[in-house]
Amino acid sequence: MGSDLRVGDIMTKKVVVIPFGKTVLDVSKTMKKNNIGSVIIVEDNAGKHAKGIITERDIVYKVLAKGEDPYAITVEKIMSKPLRVVTPETTIEEAARAMQENKIKRLPVVNEHNELIGILSEGDIMKIFPIVVDLIEERAAIL
């Protein structure tokens, strides 16, 4: 891409989190209420340090398809970890490459203290894709 856009420019700042001890049912209800496909798992209600992520796919593959009880399974048992993260200074190109290489669709964004400050999704990148194409075309015309 080669643009100067950074993760901090396009990330979603409102991140929905769930603390340890909550159940998969709690996660499912939170996802539905917020119309989202994933939640970040944090150690406690302060929610500053991301420990894992649960996606709709995790719920289907790790709970429902195995016949597990979503009322009993806690988030710690099915969350994906270790968590891949980026900083707001990471370029969109680097973030997209990390998503592709790790086969993930979301990257939590952390500050210099490793505190959760946002999330970047493939959807966020796709929203700005026309802008990136325009930038590439502009640079090509200059050269």
Answer whether residue 69 is part of any domain: yes
Structural domain contains residue 39: yes
Q: Report yes or no on 108 lying in a domain.
A: yes
39 strand-pairing partners = 54
- Looking at the structure of the chain, the number of domains it has is 1
Domain presence at residue 2: no
What's the pLDDT band for 1 if we cut at 50, 70, 90? very low
DSSP per-residue codes, 62-110: IIITTT--TTT-BHHHH-B-SPP-B-TTSBHHHHHHHHHHHT-SEEEEE
Domain hosting 114: range is 7-142
| Percent helix, strand and coil across the chain, each to the nearest 5 | 40, 20, 35
β-strands 50-55, 116-121 pairing: unpaired
Per-residue pLDDT at 143 exceeds 80: no
Query: How much is the average pLDDT of 33-44?
Result: 93
CA distance 53 to 50: 8
CA distances to 1, 8, 56, 123, 143 from 105, rounded to whole Å, are 18, 17, 12, 8, 34
- pTM value is 0.82
CATH code for the domain in which residue 109 is found: 3.10.580.10
Q: What is the pLDDT of residues 76-129, one digit of tens each?
A: 999 999 999 999 999 998 999 999 999 999 999 999 998 999 999 988 988 887
Q: 10 burial class (0-12, 13-18, 19+ CB within 10 angstroms)? A: middle
Residue 1 counted as domain residue = no
